[in-house]
Amino acid sequence: MGFITSGSLAFNPQANRRRRLRITSLTCKLFFSITDWCRTTLTISNNTVPFGLFRRCRNIKRINVHPRFQGDLVSLVHDISGLPIETLDLSKQKLFPSQGVRKVRKTLGKTLKTLICQSIHSLTDEDLVVISEAFPALEELDISTVRYAERDNDFISFDENPITDVGIKALALNLPRLRKINVSGIQTISDASLSALLSNCAYLTEVHVIDCKNISANGITSVIAQRPSLVSLSMSRRQLPIFTDARALQRLHICHSFLSDDDLLSIAMSNLPLREFSIPFCEGFSLTGLASVLQAHPFLTHLNLKGCDFLNGRIDGSLSAKPM
């Protein structure tokens, strides 16, 4: 009965909604094996990883390294290399563990599909070369540096970013399966990076280039024209690209930009198959322009108008609705 009671606490979402799967008794090997098998995500936040943890939890698919982790990232990468990890989140770490990644390319490199390196303090072109060579099966990559201020709703980007077109080109040449890339906030890349990605990544369907001041509207228009299968686009521009070739675009995110009613009308007339439309903290348009988009896309499931103060409370900041 003790095992049954413990099992009900661990697996009943109503009784154990806010608890993680915990071992109730170190002597209960069967229960131990069940919880290890069920655990697919692991967050590492301490300096020292418990002995034997990775040897027990062989079904881990995702590992998140907490931003406050103070341990040895190189050793950690080596320890997890034997697991079938598909997603690795190293966001907000001080350094990218290039030395450790080079050593595990033959193991971890075969399974990893998603790598998140958001706001790593000193990510360089050399690190991107290591990523491109070590993880040829990558499908999703986030190397963005954009963050939002909590009070004034403005961008906070790193003053200096050592990533250039050279690093992005290395990614494009070695990651043929790449479907999604987020380079938001990187001020030192240009349209040349987009061109390299388009030329080499045939499966690319999601591009996020928010606050990339050297990427032009013409560059984004080229992405749309050359990749009509593009599904998701995030950007912040004073001048909008041309959307007429975006036959598959379902998610459009434009933030911290000036949008006129004419801009919204051009989006409405582009016949996009939009399901999600986000224009947080944009200004310059009225309800007339917004109505043109809504009327042209009756099947929208998500509309984000956060920070559009001119609405004066008539519409919530984030509105989700399903078509009748």
**Is residue 6's pLDDT more than 90?**
no
pLDDT tens string 49-104: 665 677 777 788 999 999 988 888 998 898 888 888 999 999 999 999 999 999 88
Residue range 205-237, pLDDT digits in tens: 999 999 998 999 999 999 999 999 999 999 997
| Residue 121 confidence class, pLDDT cut points 50, 70, 90 | confident
Confidence of residue 47 (pLDDT cuts 50, 70, 90): low
What is the mean predicted confidence (pLDDT) over 150-178?
76
Contact 144, 118 (CB under 8 A): yes
Nearest-angstrom CA–CA distance, 192 and 66: 34
d(CA 164, CA 242): 26
**Mean pLDDT for the stretch of residues 22-30:** 53
Distances (CA, A) of 11 to 27, 42, 58, 307: 19, 18, 19, 41
- To the nearest whole percent, how much of the chain has pLDDT over 90? 59
Higher pLDDT, 161 or 256: 256
17: confidence class by pLDDT, cuts 50, 70, 90: very low
Mean per-residue pLDDT, 101-112 = 89
More confident residue, 5 or 129: 129
